[in-house]
Amino acid sequence: MAENKKIIYMDNAATTAVRKEVLDVMLPYFSEHYGNPSSIHSVGRDAKRAVEAARKQVAAALGAQPQEIYFTAGGSESDNWAIRSAAEMLEKKGKHIITSSIEHHAVLHTCEYLEKYRGYRITYLPVDEGGLVNPQDVKNAIADDTVLISIMAANNEIGTLEPIAEIGKIAKAAGVLFHTDAVQAVGAIPIDVNALNVDLLSLSAHKFHGPKGVGALYIRKGVRMNNLIFGGAQERNLRAGTENLASIVGLGKAIEIAVAELPEYTVKLTKLRDELINGILAEIPDVRLNGDHAHRLPGNVNVSVRYIEGESLLMRLDLLGVEGSSGSACTSGSLDPSHVLLAIGLPHEIAHGSLRLSLGIGNTEEDVQYVLKVLPDVVKDLRAMSPLTRPACFA
């Protein structure tokens, strides 16, 4: 790859670049302020103050209290901790969990583990063709032995925003714990844990221009949780281990900036998103938009292009400097079609031709126009070579 090739990065759902302002506040905690937050001397106390300041920043962004925020290694860890601990703590009450068929694998695989090895009964709710969970389906699925509901706030592949506030009211009325995987939502849409009626919420810093390897779990006051890691007294005795000091500081700064810039971010990305969607649908035949049209993340574009393979499309776009994905970054090495696209009713051959372009703060009008210029020709060329069944107009 030529070193001077322009790169148009449209895979922000997979990860984002660390902002300069975030990196700047992190750097001193690698060398100047390197203390262990558990140490009682002044260097340690300085580190402890930095951790607690970040905790306040995260809490303020979520409408939570600082003591309800627990730092983790990221979204997957937070999801695992929330689901497994809730199940273990409430095992005497029942062994039934409700989730959806389009959750991130951090949720689905945890539920599968509980189902296979711990005897839990898992209800996997269907979604409509836009990827929306019906709150009435949640209500109907609640049984006497239901101990947890886990529904994501925003889907990582198709960008659909779920009716979390409505589901939260149902869970609260039924006295059932409610967890939401908000990894894609935090920093992209307004989040208030009290308005949403959630008891547990997962987030990850690298989705909103913070560092990788750090996240948080919101645990509502009064919700009892098992230890994630045994050892020291960190994170109120629930997650032992010396804190990832610099990254926690970075998480706090990143979420603070993301919330402050959210109104501007939403307007900009929604405009670019709609321009890209409308242009693709207008210029390329036999393409469908995946995900709900109205209830959608500001930067998410997910389309299925018939008669080609998504992997070929990604490679051709990469050669032209456009970086996208075919779905979740966590399963990009898999040859199986997306479980999300299958859940919304797409057949395998169409699900295989998916393209996700997720916009971020660095994308511009020029970026969108470049994609709309090169994508139709790429699709045309790939269809001409494709062994897949095509209508006569593509022969």
Name the nearest CA neighbour of 283 among 314, 305, 252: 305
In one-letter notation, the amino acid at residue 300 is N
Cα 304 from chain centroid?
A: 20
* Helix/strand/coil for 341: helix
Rounded CA-CA distance 183/212 in Å is: 13
Question: Residue 301 forms beta bridges with which residues?
Answer: 357
Write down the catalytic residue from 330, 342, 374, 388: 330
Name the nearest CA neighbour of 269 among 197, 163, 365: 365
Cα 363 from chain centroid?
A: 19
Residues 6+ apart with CB under 8 A from 329: 11, 13, 14, 15
* Helix/strand/coil for 267: helix
* Helix/strand/coil for 181: strand
Query: How many CB atoms are located within 10 Å of the residue 393 CB?
Result: 8
| Helix H or strand E encompassing 184 | none
Q: What is the largest CA-CA distance in the chain?
A: 77
Query: How many CB atoms are located within 10 Å of the residue 351 CB?
Result: 23
> What order do you get walking across the sheet with 287-289 strand by strand?
287-289, 300-305, 354-358
- DSSP 8-state symbol, 175: T
Q: Are strands 322-323 and 287-289 parallel, antiparallel or unpaired?
A: unpaired
Name the nearest CA neighbour of 318 among 1, 56, 19, 4: 1
Measure Cα distances from 166 to 102, 162, 171 in Å. 18, 9, 9
The reply to whether 330 belongs to the active site is yes
Q: Are strands 215-219 and 287-289 parallel, antiparallel or unpaired?
A: unpaired
Q: Which residues are annotated as catalytic?
A: 330
